[in-house]
Structure 1
Amino acid sequence: MSASSIWHPFTQHGLGEPIPTVARAKGAILHTADGREIVDAISSWWVTTHGHANPRIAAAIAEQASRLDQIIFAGWTHKPAEELAAGLRAIMPAELTRVFFSDSGSTSVEVALKMALGFWLNRGEPRHRILMLEHGYHGDTIGAMSVGARGVFNRTYQPLLFDVGTIPFPAGREQDTLDALERACRDGAAAFIVEPLILGAGGMLTYPPMTLAEMRRICAVHGVLFIADEVMTGWGRTGTLLACEQAGVVPDILCLSKGLTGGAVPLAVTMATEPIYEAHLSDNRAHMFFHSSSYTANPIACAAANANLAIWRDEPVMERVADLCRRQADYFTALTAHPAVTGARRLGTIVALELGGGRGYLSDLAPRLLAFFAARDVLLRPLGDTVYVMPPYCISDAELGRVYQAIEDACALV
């Protein structure tokens, strides 16, 4: 029995892998209890945008904690939430007029799915089928797993998952994707959910903006609600504030989390168009939107998100994003020449590649890579033998160099 009683996520404790203790963090560096300095090359699971312990966000959290820490949000409101909703309206597509708060990326997806089904039910139209993109991943709650790829992530929970329609991923077969989506939409689907331009946990798979735009067009023609899961892709990760911008796409429902608070504390929102809100607006209480959690729109989390929005307004964040894109491009070009590297791809601040040809999430190479990077004081967490880099925007040249040197050295393991 281990000394700790903690059961960690996505961790096979039977392997006895070491679990470091992080004492503090600043910028792109994690400081462990035993004195190591670890470069956080994946933004601590894709959440940290401006760097750890950002002073503006930390100050906002401290100030709000001393003023109002928590209040029920059903039938009540507070200033941080009102400011955040207004701030999001100001920078997100104008068509997304309604802001619903939740706690994580997974719950923002649950909210989106329930909004879509409620929309059709309250309109008296029998649409209930959800469509998803092959290899998609939207979280680990039941609804989010249901609209994700079936496989090792959710095989155990198969009896709990509802049936969905799967549209083939457009990897060199864009027309097959569009034809399949056209057929499914024509049959009267309720909604189609996608990760725009890049699939995260599904392997950092990319597809072009023109395909995203055409998928959106097909859904619009058939009245199928289009849900954009920008939990990972939002807040500059793909080189624009939202990945959908690159395709000129505005979804009916938008899911945001991770970078919403700069990665400091958990918070999520699901934004919707006015028709979706109006479908739930009635003097009939049975038509209300039945979703909440105890910590919906927690004031401290909202204060952190407001500080994040202020950073986006006041500081040259997109310049930092563009600079990181340029710096990573140089390392990326050098890596693609290595014979052990296959499938190298880059989108905005995200770089991904396979070492050894791509053998899946449970590849035997994965734990070896994890240990190899940890020994070099670099936090990289491969998806099988897919190695990806998604650092905070503040990462220095020296820190970035350490990351790519570790990946280059790891090629010898293949």
Structure 2
Amino acid sequence: MRNYKFMAVENLSTRDKKYLWHPLTQHKLSKPQLPIVKAKGALLYDEDGNTYIDGIASWYTTMYGHGNEQIISAMTKQMQKLDFVMFSGLTHEPAIELSEQLMAILPENQAKIFFNDNGSTAIDAAIKMALQYFHNHGERRDTLIAFEDGFHGDTFGAMSASGLSSYNGPFEDFLLKVIRISIPKEHNLVSVKNKLKTILEENDCAAFIFEPLVQGAAGMKFHSAQGLDDLIQLCQSHDVLCIADEIMTGFGKTGMDFASENLLNKPDIICLSKALTAGMFPLSITSCSQKVYDRFLSDEVQKGFFHAHTFSAHPIGCAAALAGIALLNSPEIKERRAYIEKAHGRFSREIENHEKVGNVRVKGVILAIDLQLKIERYGNLRDELYRFFLERGVLLRPLGNTIYVLPPYVITNLQLQKIYDTITEVLNTF
């Protein structure tokens, strides 16, 4: 067993603590942050030379591995040719080519690409598109529909759509109007559809926003593709726009390139980020159908979409995304995606009857395990699990009592097996 000793890297830890405020951290209670000095493939290296398998691809971004040479090369070439230029009134080839490449793989009803700079702002743009879509037609629709326990980001529009009170608590009196429904499963589909019908009839609904098939931050909760299809059809029959948040699920994680490919009824708007640039650059996209785009075409200037980010369509980010798409469709990555899914399936069958496993599920390269512990042996289960994994050279970030694995596609068989072995050790220790 390694001794990762947070305080052993005193220099960086001390410097970090002096000025930095970390996300999702209660600094009065937290231990010092683990300083990472190098990353390659599926491995992270700390200042003492210890290695850690990045079992969650650093929040589902570095799907082609850290330090991927093809992506670095593409970014380097781009910055030597055109580093940056504003995207209002100007355009450039990387953005144009990226739009062409995305349209080749996105669901067929998508027609236009709008650039943002991270997942939350992609969601905010989508919500504003939906609200203005009706405003431009002389309608005032003020209600959003979203799933219970959904998570869409931390900016105000995205936070309004999210349903996790641990993130939203202090701000709930200031958010947009959102009505929530349960995720659709076989046992509750009729009741969920009936509730949605009532919501649509009694409110002025602009959009239904959802994470397709998998709710990430809620604990990798899966739901029915057929059920979601039915809800989308119902919303679209009432001219309510449907927004698919594919920020986590996009680019191969659920087995298809996009989770929305599992649906017969396609979303009107799709949000992408994270693996879009393989973790190499902050960039996001809000794509939409021709129907949505056309509502903003007018002789009245103010009916245009007056929303902008300084770094929209950053050429270097576009170059990274183009290199990532080339990798996504390569035979090597497709083979690794298929291997990981099969390996997850084998491991899930090995542990599914373990007394401490409440539920285990696999979708694409996502493995999620709900722990069923009679007694919480430690004061903070999530933190204890996190440290347990780090001590054994594995970076996983449990969501409450849910352990999930979402590794880079380039993870080796041995590295993946080590993650499974460490999870087994958790089951036999906690």
Q: Report if TM-score (shorter chain) is over 0.5.
A: yes
Aligned mates of 1:339, 1:287 — CA distance in 2: 59
For residue 75 of structure 1, report the CA deviation from its aligned partner: 1.2
Q: 1:13 to 1:2 in 2, by over 3 A?
A: farther
Q: Within 5 Å, give how 1:374-413 maps onto structure 2.
A: 374-413=390-429
Secondary structure of 1:14's aligned partner? coil
Q: Partners of 1:16 and 1:113 in 2: how far apart?
A: 35
After TM superposition, the runs of 4+ consecutive aligned structure 1 residues lying more than 4 A away are 357-360
Distance in structure 1 (CA, Å) of the matches to 2:415 and 2:289: 42
Using the alignment, how far apart are the partners of 1:133 and 1:339 within structure 2?
Answer: 31
Give the Cα–Cα distance (whole angstroms) in 1 for the partners of residues 418 and 176 of structure 2: 44
1:234 — aligned with what?
Answer: 250
2:198 maps to 183
Deviation at 1:363, TM superposition (A): 7.6
CA contact (8 A) 2:252 2:328 kept: no
Paired with 1:99 and 1:399, the residues of 2 have a C-alpha distance of 37
Partner residue of 1:195?
Answer: 211
Q: Does structure 2 conserve the Cα–Cα contact (< 8 Å) formed by 1:359 and 1:384?
A: no
Deviation at 1:126, TM superposition (A): 2.3
Deviation string, structure 1 residues 362-408 (Cα, Å, up to 9, x no partner): 98211110110110110000111111000011111110111111111
The one-letter code of the counterpart of 1:397 is N
In the TM superposition, residue 128 of structure 1 has moved relative to its aligned partner by 2.2
- Answer yes or no: is 1:340 the counterpart of 2:340: no
**Alignment map for 1:106-145 (pairs within 5 Å):** 106-145=120-159
| CA offset digits 1:158-215 (Å, max 9, x no partner) | 2321221111223531222111112222334111001001100011111111111111
Deviation per residue, 1:308-353 (Å, 9 max, x gap): 1222344443332112100111111112122111121111110111
Report the secondary structure of 1:233's partner residue: coil
Matches within 5 A, 1:16-27: 16-27=30-41
> Which structure 2 residue ranges, 5 or more long, are not aligned?
1-12
**d(CA) in 2 for partners of 1:93 and 1:139?**
23
Question: Counterpart of 2:113 in 1: which secondary structure?
Answer: strand
Task: Tell me the equivalent position of 2:189.
Answer: 174
Q: Is the 8 A contact 1:168 1:180 kept in 2?
A: no
Aligned amino acid, residue 64 of structure 1: Q
Aligned residue for 1:49, secondary structure, equals: coil
The equivalent of 1:89 in structure 2 is 103
Task: Report the identity percentage.
Answer: 39
Q: CA deviation at 1:94?
A: 2.4
2:77 pairs with 1:63: yes
**Using the alignment, how far apart are the partners of 1:216 and 1:290 within structure 2?**
28
Normalization by structure 2: what TM-score?
0.92
TM score, norm. by length of structure 1: 0.95
What SS does the corresponding residue of 2:205 show, helix, strand or coil?
coil
Whether 1:222 and 2:261 are equivalent positions in the alignment is no
Q: Partner of 1:326 in structure 2?
A: 342
The residue number in structure 2 matching 1:15 is: 29
Quick one: distance in 2 between partners of 1:79 and 1:359? 58
SS in 1 for 2:165: coil
Aligned pair count reads 413
Residue 304 (structure 1) aligned with residue 320 (structure 2): yes
Distance in 2 (CA, whole Å) between partners of 1:74 and 1:391 is 37
How has the CA–CA distance of structure 1 residues 244 and 359 changed in structure 2, closer, same or farther, with 3 Å as cutoff? Answer: farther
In 1, are the aligned partners of 2:147 and 2:180 still within 8 Å (CA)?
yes
